[in-house]
């Protein structure tokens, strides 16, 4: 084995490859396959940058899910689906996804033992479904690999290598929690194995829990806009707000109490008990009081793996894994209003007993229907998302010699299936609501009853509702009557059959020429079916259309590795690797992708490497066949005269032409928006509609770098790699803010065509955002890795591991040939992320000190003043004005001790110095301005491992 690889193994981190393959020097070296190539090799150095995390390193992080571990990589961007995204309606919500290089989680291919793992309908792979206890190591290929693996391998490849064999058993128990006592996490796993000369069997089960963090438990998360602005960002209130149908006046019920809905409402039938709506905080509702800041999840997994050695150097291996994950999200009660579903408006009928301006109060013939607004805080909205992942694979593999040269082959079948269901409560049945707010009267027994005296509706069939009286006038019986239970089912299946062969064709002076080739047939199908009631639009639940789709792909690939020089002056090693893949999809046609790599060692201590690769991502089932779903988007209208971009004359002109001229203010549920954070739309928009005309994204990935292992400093290895990834024809589901900015800021007509404004108010009342092949996305930067295992001393063995990612460029194009918009250095897109770990061991003791550094970023100005905006007039992707946030550093510490009875105790603290969260405007959390993907608190944990 080469000296540089040995050094990396000792340091516990790989800059090229090798940590998991260290062998006794007395044993013969074996040819193995590494991520990114199908050709088995003895020399494990590769032309591609690969990072490895071992099981030991995973446990030392104090994290219990694969997603959390990988999201701390320096090359990982902000997750596409935040732990704090409780308002997110995607089926992926509650899972964990890796956004490598900020290129999107669906542009990362996830393999388990080299085989594709299950994906959602929209092409995302939930990393939390793989139990960390069964992992031997994780290999992260930070390079394009579509020529080897096919679709999705644009940002890179994560290959999770499971344990191959276990002798005996291992029990692991973990508990942890925030210093405030919430966010309680638990992990339990049991693995057992038995082996003989010909047979190896493994069995494992695990249970993992991550506890809830409620927004109202801390002042910094207890207010939507932070404790400094305790009355801003409130949503619609729980007290009846009424307007005539011509909107000529606006009143709200008098009540006691504040913005928590904890007071008592006045008599709602008396018109004198209302005051003019003026947006005062006590008439609104602090929605954070009912919301989760970080959502809880539970995961249960069963795993088996068996290997049988057969005659003629053949081996049969099969793996089966079943995982069940349950996630729960809770948000504030529904902000109900007459127009919650524009196609089925519900008003308070003029003959309703509780209508203060109706015929029962004003006198027969003098009443009028009323438009109402009222949040139903009596029942918060809760969604349970359960999904079940089943993976089964079987592989028959063998080895043989051809002309005394080694060859290997395999045929296999891979089945991955995801099935999920959603159960939601807290939305309103509009059919029952219409009856409850329809005609009603007080009967002879003094009981208010639906219907009219001449045509009463039985009390068992309808419950009249004093909706304007607020929570104090409600009762559970009527809430049960008007509420709806929402349901949806979803799933996806990937079936693939593969055949591969690889070997050495002949030997050159510099080494053997290796080739690999294979074919694959893959079928992908998926569905997403909202309940019939939700599809009907008679519920305040987000109406959606069903998604069903299927496609097949036939693929063939070939790879060639040619050693050109070895042991020559200025060429201790020189080799090239070429690969190509042909893919034929049933839904869009053919795509071909190739790759070329170079390895050159001018001297033994220095490896220079580089790659050029074509990549692609095929449209997912959801991209192509998605039915679309309503969503109440948070967005910022560029035409807002206070927080938008109307200081630009071109923007102002476009806005005026659309009906949002001078002085226009964007309205939220409670009035004009109060900051550049924007707010939630009072009107449902449409998102996620599929596009059958989509074609694959295409990409060009270029990397170049070196690995230096100086012989005069044993144990030291330094690696530096440059990368550039450019994606064109990108498949994009853009945000509501993006649609509005592309229309009014950049003047792109296609985006203006999907926006509809109210002709009187100028408000955006309809907006459609879906999928299209538009524009381009590009990133460029450097990865620096350093590993150094110091000589052993009487004070123990010390080691240093460091990984740093620097992003010089991250930009996109809204349409081909358009202007580039830069994002590097803005919130979510740090220019620099760096992880530093110091390892120490002495006898049975060990410890790891980890520091995670994120560079400063630009954020939107919450308000344009000197206190909230450090750079008034400064330029960012959203236009002018930004607030510069400083860098952050988090420190973690873990300490372990191995007992005399084959046990190990590990205790640790993450965020050791209790770095406090900061308030941001571009928040990843639904409930507050604090990012839920950063530490909220100091976190303590303890783990015990027992081998037997």
Q: Give per-residue pLDDT as tens, 753-781.
A: 989 999 989 999 989 887 778 889 999 99
User: Is residue 420 predicted with pLDDT exceeding 70?
Assistant: yes
Concatenating the DSSP letter of every residue in 453-474 gives SSSB--TTT-----GGG-GGG-
User: Is residue 12 predicted with pLDDT exceeding 50?
Assistant: no
Give the percent of the chain with pLDDT over 90: 79
Q: What is the mean pLDDT of residues 612-633?
A: 89
Q: What is the mean pLDDT of residues 278-306?
A: 95
Under the banding of pLDDT at 50, 70 and 90, the label for residue 846 is: very high
User: Is residue 412 predicted with pLDDT exceeding 50?
Assistant: yes
Q: What is the mean pLDDT of residues 324-353?
A: 94
User: Is residue 9 predicted with pLDDT exceeding 80?
Assistant: no
**What is the Cα 583 distance to its own chain's centre?**
28
The region of weakest confidence among 24-33, 145-154, 791-800, 873-882 is 24-33
Spell out a b/e string for 715-751, using b for 16 or more CB atoms within 10 Å of the CB, else e. bbbbbbbbbebbbbbbbbbbebbbbbbbbbbbebeeb
- Could you tell me the two tokens for 848? 């790891």
pLDDT of residue 26: 38
Taken in order 728, 730, 736, 742, is the CA torsion positive or negative?
A: positive
pLDDT of residue 17: 35
Cβ count near 649 (within 10 Å)? 8
Under the banding of pLDDT at 50, 70 and 90, the label for residue 43 is: low
User: Is residue 28 predicted with pLDDT exceeding 60?
Assistant: no
User: Is residue 618 predicted with pLDDT exceeding 90?
Assistant: yes
pLDDT tens digits, one per residue of 683-701: 888 887 787 888 999 999 9
User: Is residue 146 predicted with pLDDT exceeding 80?
Assistant: yes
Average pLDDT over the chain reads 91
- Nearest of 1, 232, 13, 7 to residue 803 by alpha carbon: 13
Under the banding of pLDDT at 50, 70 and 90, the label for residue 44 is: low
Under the banding of pLDDT at 50, 70 and 90, the label for residue 18 is: very low
User: Is residue 25 predicted with pLDDT exceeding 60?
Assistant: no
Q: What is the mean pLDDT of residues 926-944?
A: 94
Is residue 860 within 8 Å of 677, Cβ to Cβ? yes
pLDDT of residue 128: 83
d(CA 365, CA 264) in angstroms, rounded, equals: 31
Is residue 157 within 8 Å of 109, Cβ to Cβ? yes
pLDDT of residue 19: 32
User: Is residue 604 predicted with pLDDT exceeding 70?
Assistant: yes
User: Is residue 5 predicted with pLDDT exceeding 50?
Assistant: no
Is residue 211 within 8 Å of 217, Cβ to Cβ? no
pLDDT of residue 523: 97
Q: What is the mean pLDDT of residues 339-367?
A: 95
User: Is residue 567 predicted with pLDDT exceeding 80?
Assistant: yes
DSSP β-bridge partners for residue 523? 495, 552
pLDDT of residue 553: 97
User: Is residue 29 predicted with pLDDT exceeding 50?
Assistant: no
pLDDT of residue 42: 64
Q: What is the mean pLDDT of residues 550-574?
A: 96
User: Is residue 282 predicted with pLDDT exceeding 70?
Assistant: yes
pLDDT of residue 22: 31
pLDDT of residue 599: 95
Strands 764-773 and 685-689: parallel
d(CA 24, CA 17) in angstroms, rounded, equals: 17
d(CA 106, CA 99) in angstroms, rounded, equals: 8
d(CA 803, CA 507) in angstroms, rounded, equals: 37
d(CA 886, CA 870) in angstroms, rounded, equals: 11
User: Is residue 887 predicted with pLDDT exceeding 50?
Assistant: yes
**What is the Cα 674 distance to its own chain's centre?**
28
d(CA 733, CA 106) in angstroms, rounded, equals: 12
Cβ count near 701 (within 10 Å)? 24
């Amino acid at each position: 084995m080469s000296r540089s690889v040995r050094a990396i193994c000792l340091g516990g981190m790989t800059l090229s490859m090798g940590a998991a393959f260290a062998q006794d020097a007395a044993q013969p070296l074996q040819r193995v396959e590494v991520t990114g190539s199908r050709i088995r090799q003895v020399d494990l150095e590769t032309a591609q940058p690969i990072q490895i995390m071992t099981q030991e390193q995973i446990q030392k992080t104090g994290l219990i899910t694969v997603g959390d571990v990988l999201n701390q990589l320096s090359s990982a961007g902000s997750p596409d689906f935040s732990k704090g995204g409780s308002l997110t309606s995607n089926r992926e919500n509650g899972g964990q996804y890796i956004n490598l290089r900020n290129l999107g989680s669906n542009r990362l291919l996830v393999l388990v033992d080299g085989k594709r793992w299950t994906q959602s309908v929209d092409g995302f792979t939930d990393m939390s479904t793989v139990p960390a206890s069964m992992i031997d190591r994780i290999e992260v290929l930070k390079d394009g690999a579509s020529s080897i693996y096919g679709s999705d391998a644009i940002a890179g490849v994560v290959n999770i290598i499971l344990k191959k064999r276990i002798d005996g058993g291992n029990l692991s128990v973990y508990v942890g929690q925030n210093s405030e006592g919430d966010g309680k996490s638990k992990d339990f796993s049991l693995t057992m194995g038995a082996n003989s000369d010909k047979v190896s069997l493994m069995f494992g089960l695990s249970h993992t829990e991550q506890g809830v963090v409620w927004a109202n438990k801390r002042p910094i998360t207890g207010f939507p806009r932070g404790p400094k602005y305790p009355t801003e960002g409130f949503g619609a209130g729980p007290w009846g707000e009424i307007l005539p149908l011509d909107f000529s006046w606006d009143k709200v019920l008098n009540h006691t109490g504040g913005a928590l809905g904890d007071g008592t409402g006045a008599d709602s039938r008396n018109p004198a008990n209302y005051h003019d709506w003026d947006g005062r905080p006590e008439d609104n509702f602090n929605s954070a009081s009912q919301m989760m800041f970080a959502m809880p999840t539970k995961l249960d997994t069963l795993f088996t793996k068996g290997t049988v050695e057969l005659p003629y150097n053949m081996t049969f291996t099969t793996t089966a894994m079943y995982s069940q994950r349950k996630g729960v999200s809770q948000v504030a009660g529904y902000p109900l209003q007459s127009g919650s579903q524009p196609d089925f408006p519900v008003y308070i009928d003029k003959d309703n007993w509780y209508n203060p301006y109706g015929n029962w109060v004003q006198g027969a013939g003098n009443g009028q229907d009323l438009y109402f607004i009222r949040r139903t805080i009596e029942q918060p909205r809760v969604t349970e998302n359960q999904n079940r992942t089943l993976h089964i694979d079987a592989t028959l593999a063998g080895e043989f010699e051809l002309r005394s040269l080694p060859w290997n082959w395999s045929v296999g079948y891979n089945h991955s299936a995801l099935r999920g269901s959603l159960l939601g409560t807290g939305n309103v049945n509009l059919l029952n609501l219409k009856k409850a707010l329809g005609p009603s009267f007080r009967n002879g027994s003094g009981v208010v009853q639906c219907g009219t005296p001449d045509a009463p509706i039985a009390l068992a069939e309808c419950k009249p509702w004093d909706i304007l009286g607020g929570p104090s006038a409600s009762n559970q019986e009527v809430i049960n009557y008007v509420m709806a239970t929402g349901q949806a089912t979803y799933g996806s299946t990937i079936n693939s059959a593969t055949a591969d062969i690889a070997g050495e064709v002949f030997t050159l002076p510099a080494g053997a020429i290796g080739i690999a080739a294979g074919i694959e047939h893959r079928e992908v199908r998926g569905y997403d079916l909202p309940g019939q009631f939700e599809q009907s639009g008679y519920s305040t639940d987000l109406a959606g259309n069903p998604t069903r789709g299927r496609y097949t792909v036939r693929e063939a690939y070939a790879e060639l590795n040619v050693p050109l020089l070895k042991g020559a002056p200025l060429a201790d090693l020189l080799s090239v690797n070429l690969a190509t893949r042909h893919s034929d999809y049933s839904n869009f046609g053919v795509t071909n992708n190739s790759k070329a790599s170079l390895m050159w060692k001018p001297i033994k201590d220095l490896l220079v490497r580089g790659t050029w690769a074509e990549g692609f991502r095929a449209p997912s089932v959801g991209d192509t066949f998605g039915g679309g779903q309503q969503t109440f988007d948070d967005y910022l209208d560029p035409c807002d005269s206070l927080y938008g971009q109307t200081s630009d004359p071109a923007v102002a002109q476009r806005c005026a032409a659309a009906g949002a001229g001078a002085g226009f203010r964007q309205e939220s549920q409670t009035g004009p928006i109060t900051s550049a954070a924007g707010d939630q739309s009072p009107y449902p928009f449409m998102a996620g509609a599929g596009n059958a005309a989509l074609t694959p994204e295409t990409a060009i990935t270029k990397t170049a770098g070196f690995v230096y292992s100086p012989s005069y400093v044993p144990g030291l290895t330094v690696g530096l790699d440059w990368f550039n990834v450019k994606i064109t024809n990108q498949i994009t589901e853009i945000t509501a803010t993006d649609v509005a900015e592309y229309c009014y800021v950049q003047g792109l007509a296609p985006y203006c065509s999907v926006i509809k404004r109210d002709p009187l108010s100028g408000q955006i009342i309809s907006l459609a955002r879906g999928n299209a092949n538009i524009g381009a996305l590009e990133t460029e930067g450097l990865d620096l890795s350093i590993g150094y295992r110091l000589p052993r001393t009487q004070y123990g063995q010390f080691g240093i591991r460091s990984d740093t990612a620097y992003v010089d460029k991250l930009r996109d194009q809204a349409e081909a040939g358009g202007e580039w918009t830069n994002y590097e250095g803005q919130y979510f897109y740090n220019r620099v992320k760096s992880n530093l770990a110091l390892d120490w061991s002495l006898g049975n003791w060990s410890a790891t000190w980890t520091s995670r550094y994120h560079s400063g970023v630009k954020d939107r100005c919450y308000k344009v003043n000197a206190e909230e905006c450090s750079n008034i007039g400064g330029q960012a992707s959203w236009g002018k004005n930004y607030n510069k946030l400083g860098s952050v550093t988090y420190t973690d510490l873990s300490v372990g001790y191995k007992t005399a009875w084959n046990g190990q105790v590990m205790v640790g603290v993450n965020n050791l110095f209790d770095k406090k969260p900061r308030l941001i405007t571009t928040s990843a959390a639904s409930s507050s301005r604090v990012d839920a993907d950063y530490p909220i608190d100091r976190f303590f944990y303890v783990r015990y491992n027992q081998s037997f």
